[in-house]
């Protein structure tokens, strides 16, 4: 199920996209970006509203460039703006805007947490496009799988157990996600049954308690947490 943009919102955003200034006209580009941000926030589309809020933070990087000429800040902001424009164009074209989720877990715990069922249930929600978990595509090298798919994901769901703490591959996934979190490119959601199993660096992050006896309730809470700003 795709979330369609209202026709008036689509026309407004399409009009703004068409008048994007040429590269090099920095201040014009900045004003254009602000117009797109406001239009997306007013669209009512869950993903576009979230993307627009992220872009508001990118404006801080652009301000830093204007103040001190920090080229690295400009390059980072330019990359994010390009990604934002691509997502907005997809919305206008009516493409699926669902975001991706990466499941990080020890394979020893896959049956206990019902990992395939978690992925299947989450993908049924209209805002979610794809849920990555390694066993589904286990023909690929696990390191390549991690590198290919964590960066594509909006949310990193970490199933916390003593097994996942000991797993080298899960530890690498966790480190990658924490780096992306620092860059505000991904959200991390710890899943736990015993709070003592949550890794130290994830303890300050709001998580969701796993409940096998009320699996439907767990999925609903997890879904709501993926949408939280």
Q: Is the pTM of this model over 0.95?
A: no
Residue 210 has pLDDT above 90, yes or no: yes
Name the phi and psi angles at 183, rounded to 5.
-85, 5
Who has greater pLDDT, 208 or 71?
208
- Edge-to-edge strand list for the sheet holding 99-104: 128-132, 99-104, 155-160, 187-192, 208-209
In this prediction, residue 107 has a pLDDT band, given cuts at 50, 70 and 90, of very high
What is the CATH superfamily name and number for domain 99-227?
Toll/interleukin-1 receptor homology (TIR) domain (3.40.50.10140)
Q: What is the CATH number of domain 7-93?
A: 1.20.120
Q: If pLDDT is split at 50, 70 and 90, which confidence band does 2 have? A: very low
> Buried (b) or exposed (e) across 11-47, using 16+ Cβ within 10 A?
ebbbebbeeeeeeeeeeebbebbebbbebbbbbebeb
Residue ranges of domains in the chain: 7-93, 99-227
pLDDT of residue 29: 77
Tokens of 123: 């993908």
- List pLDDT tens digits, range 139-148: 567 777 887 7
Q: What percent of the chain has pLDDT over 70?
A: 83
How does DSSP classify residue 206? -
Please give the mean pLDDT across all residues of the chain.
83
175-202: average pLDDT: 92
CB 128 within 8 A of CB 122: yes
- pLDDT of 106: 94
């Amino acid at each position: 199920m795709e979330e369609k943009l209202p026709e008036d919102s689509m026309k407004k955003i399409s009009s703004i996209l068409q008048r994007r200034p040429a590269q090099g006209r920095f201040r014009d580009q900045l004003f254009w970006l602000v117009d797109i941000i406001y239009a997306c926030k007013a669209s009512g589309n869950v993903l576009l509203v979230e993307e627009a809020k992220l872009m508001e933070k990118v404006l801080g990087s652009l301000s830093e460039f204007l103040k001190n000429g920090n080229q690295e800040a400009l390059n980072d902001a330019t990359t994010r703006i390009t990604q934002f424009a691509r997502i907005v164009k997809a919305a206008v074209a009516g493409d699926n805007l669902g975001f991706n989720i990466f499941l990080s877990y020890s394979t020893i715990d896959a049956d206990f947490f019902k990992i395939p069922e978690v992925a299947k249930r989450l993908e049924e929600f209209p805002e979610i496009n794809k849920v990555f978990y390694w066993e589904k595509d286990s023909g690929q090298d696990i390191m390549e799988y991690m590198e290919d798919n964590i960066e594509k994901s909006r949310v990193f769901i970490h199933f916390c157990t003593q097994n996942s703490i000991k797993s080298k591959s899960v530890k690498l996934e966790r480190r990658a996600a924490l780096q992306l979190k620092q860059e505000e490119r991904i959200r991390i959601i710890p899943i736990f049954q015993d709070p003592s199993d949550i890794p130290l660096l994830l303890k300050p992050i709001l998580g969701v308690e796993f409940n096998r006896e009320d699996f439907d309730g767990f999925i609903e809470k997890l879904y709501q947490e993926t949408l939280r700003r």
